[in-house]
Structure 1
Amino acid sequence: MGKKIIFIIAIIVGVGAILAGLVITKLGQFSAMAEAGKNGGPPPSTVSVTTPRTDTWETRYKSVGSIEPVRGILIETESAGVVDSINFENGQEVKAGDLLVQLDIDVEKAQLRAAEATVQLTQTEFERATRLRQSGNVPQSDLDRAAADMERAQAEIQNLKALIDRKTIVAPFDGRVGIRQINLGQYVPTGSPIVSLEADEQVYVNFSLPQKTLSKINTGMKLDVTSDAYPEQTFVGQLTAISPVIDPSTRSVALQGTIDNPESLLRSGLFVNIELVSEQTEEVLLIPSTAILYAPYGNSVYVVESQQNEDGSGERLIVKQKFIRIGRSRGDFVSVLDGVTADERIVSSGAFKLRNGAAITINNDLEPQAQLAPAVDNS
């Protein structure tokens, strides 16, 4: 019986302790709410604050484009025939004049030997006709006919040699071959693709810009080219050609730059990002991109201001939302064209939890450091 009484008392004490804890918690919440109401709003939010910075930026025009070799062709057959030999490996470096593919020329070589014999015969007949004509034993027409027969035979040799040359496919310039599209012993008709050949010690980058930039660009301007294939590398080139024609459908001008490619990293067809760097510079006002609240109706930032407490006990910090007009971005920074000044303090992180007129406290200990050229650490 005594154990039951002790058990009941323990339960009552435990329930009482829980109720007491709830009461104390609620009293604390009510006290915080009363204090917040006394101060005119919710408790201050902790944010990081920064001041806009000024910098000098080069004028850059961004675009996307693709790589094209300065010299690149698809080698095709000029004459039909059977592939007799293939004298290269896929992806091999070749020199101008190197034999790539030999089609079967046995028939042409036999015809060439016969033509050479015919030339020797016609030369002999021409010489004989010349002597007889000098002695007056044959008419001039016989000499003319012998000369024509000799020229015809010589032309036949040239024709056969040209046919053999068309079936003997050599590299027209130094470069790298691709993947062959023929096989040994295959019959290939005229115009059949054999292999691509590209000289990629230099490459073109083709891109376009809006027509409004036409008066601000000229050949010789620097190009910074990047690709996701080489995310940590920037290739530098020059603008070498500006199309004289504006595309009537896009109202853009086609441009072409040239880039040295000694390591053959930039391959034909590679998609690249391009920045055309102008010699003109401009003063810009920069803020971290984390400070901007992006919205369809307009971008804005929160500016820090001081406000007198309603009870006259002192000042507190609040924020005011200001709409801004932004320009170009670089790294972690965005240039501001209008809306804030260099002497104003703005919220750089934590702006998403604020509202216009909200009270804040400042803590910059954990603020991320914005950089113009951030480097991502993948380790």
Structure 2
Amino acid sequence: MKKIVLVLALLGGAGVLYWYSLDKSAAVGPRVKPIPNVVVTKAGVQTIRDEVEALGTTRANESLTITAKVTELVTKMNFDDGDVVAKGAVLVQLQDSEHRAKVQVAKVKVGDAERELERIRTLVTNKTVAALERDRLQTQIDTSRAELEQAQAALADRTLVAPFAGRLGLRQVSPGALVTPSTPITTLDDISVVKLDFAVPERFIPQLNPGKMVEAEAVAYQGQVFKGKVISIDSRVNPATRAVMVRAEIPNKDAKLLPGMLMKIRLIKTSREALMIPEAAVIPLQNRHYVYLVGSDNKVERREVVIGLRKRGWAEVVEGLSEGEAIMVHGILKVRPGDEVKPEMNERFSAAVATEGESAA
């Protein structure tokens, strides 16, 4: 009997607690859903470019190896390693005493023949001397002049001059050395402008024209962009690589770029203005794309958009969005269309994305 009474008392207490909890929950009312914080940014117009990336090698605008035309001893070197020289500057002097003497002898012969011809000119007019003698002397003068030109050319071959302005390389010979036409003395490069050769797939040939802009970066100068333009396209496609060689020209006033450097190139095919948004704001669903917008009433709206070109964290919106509309970038998974949100403009995020977009462009 006591057990039955104890069980009834426990059941009664449990019932009281249950009804008490129901009354308390009814007094508190339904739980209120918190308003989520989201990060938004505004769709803006940016300059985007359709470009082709490639690797290329720099070449000097003009380049040659200085060698002698004759076999002769070096008597004087007029340059040091890396000198910048002007066109016509004397670089190397070879032994030329014998050829100077030959030039002098030739000049004497010419002068003697000219004087003798002058003496008999009046005699030929008066028919005292036959015209045949005059012709013989004229032939002798012509021959002497030819010998003089030959001697002067041989003398000039003993003086090596710069055929164009540029920077010299390392000196390979010393005074007193015997050089031959196959002996490299030094190199001369005109690098005021460098040529950049690179291969482009043949499918881009219709869009390749002289004047297209290029941007190039070298490993030696991280972060620095060198700008130039296309000057010519090769007339043949490589059958092995199915690519055509393109040559661009880059100003190099500071002489930072040297021949033979490897450069990463961006060939800009087209450039235009487009409405761009961060790629993180795009929600793909099968073959469609959506974005979440936040209106003036802080309500979320889902809208379908048409995506165009994508570029390093950015996406072009072709249809479905207007410039200046606020779109969600962070917090998309926390909301549904029609929800109220607390939008925040994350300036640091926007600036970082903008910087990335500009570098990509």
Which one of the candidate residues 113, 116, 121 is aligned to 1:122?
Answer: 113
SS in 1 for 2:87: coil
SS in 2 for 1:233: coil
Give the structure 2 partner of residue 267 of structure 1: 258
**Distance change (3 Å), C-alpha of 1:50 and 1:270:** farther
The whole-number CA distance in structure 2 between the counterparts of 1:328 and 1:223 is 20
**Distance change (3 Å), C-alpha of 1:105 and 1:59:** same
Are 1:129 and 1:146, in contact at CA under 8 Å, matched by a contact in 2? Answer: no
Give the structure 1 partner of residue 214 of structure 2: 223
Are 1:54 and 1:286, in contact at CA under 8 Å, matched by a contact in 2? Answer: no
Which one of the candidate residues 152, 159, 183 is aligned to 2:143?
Answer: 152
The one-letter amino acid paired with 2:82 is G
SS in 1 for 2:70: coil
- Whether 2:65 is the aligned partner of 1:74: answer yes
Are 1:50 and 1:347, in contact at CA under 8 Å, matched by a contact in 2? Answer: no
The whole-number CA distance in structure 1 between the counterparts of 2:251 and 2:181 is 36
The whole-number CA distance in structure 1 between the counterparts of 2:270 and 2:68 is 48
Deviates more, 1:272-281 or 1:259-268: 272-281
State the identity as a percent.
25
Aligned-pair distance for 1:79?
1.9
- Whether 2:241 is the aligned partner of 1:250: answer yes
The whole-number CA distance in structure 2 between the counterparts of 1:75 and 1:64 is 30
Deviates more, 1:138-147 or 1:58-67: 138-147
The alignment's C-alpha RMSD in Å is 3.5
The one-letter amino acid paired with 2:57 is S
Which one of the candidate residues 248, 257, 270 is aligned to 1:279?
Answer: 270
SS in 2 for 1:119: helix
SS in 1 for 2:119: helix
- Whether 2:56 is the aligned partner of 1:88: answer no
Task: Output the TM-score relative to the length of structure 2.
Answer: 0.65
- Whether 2:188 is the aligned partner of 1:200: answer no
Aligned-pair distance for 1:373?
5.0
What are the equivalent positions in structure 2 for 1:40-79 lying under 5 Å apart?
A: 57-79=48-70
Aligned-pair distance for 1:159?
1.0
The one-letter amino acid paired with 1:275 is R
What are the equivalent positions in structure 2 for 1:1-379 lying under 5 Å apart?
A: 57-281=48-272, 287=279, 330=312, 333=313, 371=353, 373=355
The whole-number CA distance in structure 1 between the counterparts of 2:150 and 2:310 is 65
1:47-94 CA-partner distances (Å, limit 9, x unpaired)? xx999x998531011001011122222222122211111001110111
Are 1:85 and 1:103, in contact at CA under 8 Å, matched by a contact in 2? Answer: yes
The whole-number CA distance in structure 1 between the counterparts of 2:253 and 2:231 is 19
Aligned-pair distance for 1:336?
10
1:86-105 CA-partner distances (Å, limit 9, x unpaired)? 00111011111211001110
SS in 1 for 2:188: strand
The one-letter amino acid paired with 1:89 is D
Aligned-pair distance for 1:248?
2.1
SS in 2 for 1:164: helix
Are 1:223 and 1:239, in contact at CA under 8 Å, matched by a contact in 2? Answer: yes
Deviates more, 1:137-146 or 1:95-104: 137-146
How many residues are aligned here? Answer: 271
Aligned-pair distance for 1:144?
1.0
**Distance change (3 Å), C-alpha of 1:99 and 1:140:** same
The whole-number CA distance in structure 2 between the counterparts of 1:63 and 1:347 is 38
Aligned-pair distance for 1:135?
2.6
Which blocks of at least 5 consecutive residues in structure 1 are unaligned?
Answer: 1-48, 289-325, 338-342, 349-367, 375-379
The one-letter amino acid paired with 2:246 is L
SS in 2 for 1:230: coil
**Distance change (3 Å), C-alpha of 1:77 and 1:372:** farther
1:320-347 CA-partner distances (Å, limit 9, x unpaired)? xxxxxx98653xx37699xxxxx99899
The whole-number CA distance in structure 2 between the counterparts of 1:189 and 1:171 is 18
The one-letter amino acid paired with 1:228 is V
Are 1:76 and 1:194, in contact at CA under 8 Å, matched by a contact in 2? Answer: yes
Aligned-pair distance for 1:111?
1.1
SS in 2 for 1:144: helix
Are 2:275 and 2:316, in contact at CA under 8 Å, matched by a contact in 1? Answer: no
**Distance change (3 Å), C-alpha of 1:62 and 1:54:** farther
Are 1:126 and 1:146, in contact at CA under 8 Å, matched by a contact in 2? Answer: yes
The one-letter amino acid paired with 2:237 is I
Are 1:79 and 1:191, in contact at CA under 8 Å, matched by a contact in 2? Answer: no
